[in-house]
Chains A and B, each alone.
Chain A
């Protein structure tokens, strides 16, 4: 079965640079979520989109923005990168109303900021 696709899988950036992470949800899924997982931490919710509209927002820095496009893929844009932004970034997708809105995670993008 098709899974969530994320690209790139690994990304190395310098401080103050920008980064764009991409997420392709499972086909027919209408909701996308972004999570950040720092070393030794549990995943923390950043932002979500339902039917291309922002549906919920968590502890996402103002330096980050995201959107969901007409084909349902989503991008997380990160500017003025800081050392503390180094983390695993997961995208998850779900289909509203199906099995309690189970979320399925992509393999993640490992961002390293030097």
Chain B
């Protein structure tokens, strides 16, 4: 079982739609969470960090539920340019260290926004 599981998708939505992605993680030691987007054959780009209190950045809202080990991303008023793969990512501290460690990625959810 993967440490980070995402909705398999793909999601195919019209412009202006609201779409939600869900993600679960298995390790309760996970400390930080992020959503990245990745366009075909390009690098992952940080979309937003996810905080326990929830956070919003324009049309994007992220939520974290530590009790359920569940993370979500809501995209409102979808644009054609939102078409990409969305990666749910968790991070833990380096064992025995003070620095943060590797990112562990979910398998990604493909979003296509059509006219």
A→B interface (CB under 8 Å):
31, 33, 35, 42-43, 45, 48, 50, 55-56, 58, 88, 90, 92, 94, 96, 99-108, 110
Contacts and interface: CB of A to CB of B under 8 A. Distances in A.
A58 B49 CA distance: 23
B45 interface: yes
Given A42-B87, A42-B105, A100 B43 contact: no
Contacts of A92: 103
Contacts of B107: 42
Contacts of A108: 42-43
15 contacts: A31-B99, A35-B103, A42-B107, A45-B103, A50-B94, A50-B97, A55-B99, A96-B100, A100-B34, A100-B100, A102-B49, A103-B46, A106-B43, A107-B43, A110-B41
Interface string B43-58: 1111001000000000
